[in-house]
Amino acid sequence: MGEYKGKLNRQFPAKISTTAFTSIYILHLLKGNKKMYGQRILDTINDQMDARWKPSRGMVYPLLREMEEEEYVESWWSEPDKRSIRYYRLTEKGGDHLEKMKIKYKSSFREARKIIETAIDEIYQGNI
Protein backbone atom coordinates (compact mmCIF):
# COMPACT_ATOMS: atom_id res chain seq x y z
CA MET A 1 0.00 0.00 0.00
CA GLY A 2 1.31 3.47 -0.80
CA GLU A 3 2.21 5.99 1.86
CA TYR A 4 -0.67 8.24 2.85
CA LYS A 5 0.28 11.91 2.86
CA GLY A 6 -3.13 13.38 3.63
CA LYS A 7 -4.26 14.89 6.89
CA LEU A 8 -5.64 12.69 9.63
CA ASN A 9 -9.30 13.05 10.48
CA ARG A 10 -9.64 11.98 14.09
CA GLN A 11 -13.38 12.55 14.02
CA PHE A 12 -14.33 9.88 11.50
CA PRO A 13 -17.03 8.87 10.94
CA ALA A 14 -18.72 11.91 12.47
CA LYS A 15 -17.90 15.50 13.16
CA ILE A 16 -17.86 14.90 16.88
CA SER A 17 -14.80 14.39 19.01
CA THR A 18 -14.40 11.51 21.43
CA THR A 19 -14.36 14.06 24.25
CA ALA A 20 -17.68 15.60 23.18
CA PHE A 21 -19.23 12.15 22.72
CA THR A 22 -18.05 11.06 26.16
CA SER A 23 -19.35 14.26 27.74
CA ILE A 24 -22.79 13.76 26.24
CA TYR A 25 -22.85 10.16 27.37
CA ILE A 26 -21.80 10.98 30.94
CA LEU A 27 -24.45 13.69 31.25
CA HIS A 28 -27.02 11.30 29.76
CA LEU A 29 -26.13 8.64 32.35
CA LEU A 30 -26.34 11.12 35.19
CA LYS A 31 -29.73 12.31 33.95
CA GLY A 32 -31.11 8.81 34.35
CA ASN A 33 -29.55 8.19 37.76
CA LYS A 34 -29.82 10.14 40.99
CA LYS A 35 -26.10 9.78 41.67
CA MET A 36 -23.13 7.88 40.29
CA TYR A 37 -19.45 7.62 41.11
CA GLY A 38 -16.70 7.67 38.49
CA GLN A 39 -15.98 3.95 38.32
CA ARG A 40 -19.71 3.23 38.10
CA ILE A 41 -19.91 5.60 35.12
CA LEU A 42 -17.02 3.75 33.44
CA ASP A 43 -18.57 0.34 34.18
CA THR A 44 -22.01 1.43 32.94
CA ILE A 45 -20.58 2.71 29.64
CA ASN A 46 -18.63 -0.53 29.26
CA ASP A 47 -21.76 -2.60 29.93
CA GLN A 48 -24.01 -0.56 27.64
CA MET A 49 -21.44 -0.74 24.83
CA ASP A 50 -21.10 -4.52 25.33
CA ALA A 51 -17.41 -4.00 26.22
CA ARG A 52 -16.70 -2.73 22.69
CA TRP A 53 -15.76 0.76 23.83
CA LYS A 54 -14.92 2.30 27.17
CA PRO A 55 -13.39 5.72 27.71
CA SER A 56 -10.26 5.81 29.83
CA ARG A 57 -10.19 6.94 33.44
CA GLY A 58 -7.81 9.64 32.19
CA MET A 59 -10.64 11.03 30.09
CA VAL A 60 -13.64 10.55 32.39
CA TYR A 61 -12.29 11.99 35.63
CA PRO A 62 -10.95 15.23 34.09
CA LEU A 63 -14.29 15.61 32.25
CA LEU A 64 -16.17 15.20 35.53
CA ARG A 65 -13.96 17.87 37.14
CA GLU A 66 -14.53 20.19 34.18
CA MET A 67 -18.29 19.57 34.32
CA GLU A 68 -18.23 20.39 38.00
CA GLU A 69 -16.37 23.66 37.33
CA GLU A 70 -19.01 24.50 34.71
CA GLU A 71 -21.71 23.61 37.28
CA TYR A 72 -23.15 20.88 35.05
CA VAL A 73 -22.64 18.36 37.85
CA GLU A 74 -22.21 18.58 41.57
CA SER A 75 -20.16 16.16 43.62
CA TRP A 76 -19.55 15.09 47.19
CA TRP A 77 -17.56 12.48 49.09
CA SER A 78 -19.50 9.58 50.61
CA GLU A 79 -17.29 9.91 53.68
CA PRO A 80 -15.71 13.38 53.59
CA ASP A 81 -13.08 12.52 56.19
CA LYS A 82 -11.86 9.52 54.18
CA ARG A 83 -12.34 10.83 50.62
CA SER A 84 -13.42 7.33 49.65
CA ILE A 85 -16.12 7.52 46.95
CA ARG A 86 -16.95 10.73 45.12
CA TYR A 87 -20.54 10.84 43.88
CA TYR A 88 -21.78 13.00 40.99
CA ARG A 89 -25.25 14.29 40.25
CA LEU A 90 -26.57 16.25 37.28
CA THR A 91 -27.58 19.84 38.02
CA GLU A 92 -30.39 21.72 36.33
CA LYS A 93 -27.77 23.66 34.38
CA GLY A 94 -26.22 20.33 33.36
CA GLY A 95 -29.58 19.04 32.15
CA ASP A 96 -30.03 22.17 30.04
CA HIS A 97 -26.50 21.77 28.66
CA LEU A 98 -27.18 18.12 27.78
CA GLU A 99 -30.28 19.09 25.80
CA LYS A 100 -28.28 21.73 23.88
CA MET A 101 -25.51 19.22 23.13
CA LYS A 102 -28.05 16.65 21.92
CA ILE A 103 -29.46 19.20 19.48
CA LYS A 104 -26.00 20.33 18.37
CA TYR A 105 -24.71 16.82 17.64
CA LYS A 106 -27.87 15.05 16.46
CA SER A 107 -27.05 15.52 12.78
CA SER A 108 -23.47 14.34 13.38
CA PHE A 109 -24.76 11.13 14.95
CA ARG A 110 -27.15 10.61 12.03
CA GLU A 111 -24.33 11.25 9.57
CA ALA A 112 -22.05 8.78 11.36
CA ARG A 113 -24.75 6.11 11.28
CA LYS A 114 -25.31 6.71 7.55
CA ILE A 115 -21.58 6.49 6.79
CA ILE A 116 -21.20 3.23 8.70
CA GLU A 117 -24.37 1.70 7.22
CA THR A 118 -23.25 2.67 3.70
CA ALA A 119 -19.79 1.18 4.25
CA ILE A 120 -21.28 -2.05 5.59
CA ASP A 121 -23.67 -2.31 2.66
CA GLU A 122 -20.94 -1.60 0.10
CA ILE A 123 -18.13 -3.67 1.57
CA TYR A 124 -20.09 -6.59 2.99
CA GLN A 125 -23.35 -6.33 1.04
CA GLY A 126 -25.00 -5.93 4.46
CA ASN A 127 -23.88 -9.40 5.58
CA ILE A 128 -22.20 -8.83 8.91
- pLDDT tens digits for 38-63? 999 999 999 999 988 889 999 999 99
Cα gap 46→56, rounded to integer Å: 11
Q: Is residue 73 part of a domain?
A: yes
Q: Is residue 72 part of a domain?
A: yes
pTM above 0.85, yes or no: no
Q: Is residue 36 part of a domain?
A: yes
Which tens digit of pLDDT belongs to each residue from 58-90? Answer: 999 999 999 999 999 999 999 888 878 999 999
Task: Dump the DSSP string for 24-72.
Answer: HHHHHHHHHSS-EEHHHHHHHHHHHTTTS----HHHHHHHHHHHHHTTS
The values of phi and psi at residue 10, to 5°, are: -80, 10
Q: Is residue 11 part of a domain?
A: no
Q: Is residue 5 part of a domain?
A: no
The residue segments making up the domain with residue 69 are 18-124
86-90 and 73-77 beta bridge pairing:
antiparallel
Which three-class secondary structure state does DSSP give residue 101? Answer: helix
The values of phi and psi at residue 89, to 5°, are: -140, 145
Split into its structural domains, the chain has a count of 1
Q: What is the pLDDT of residue 9?
A: 47
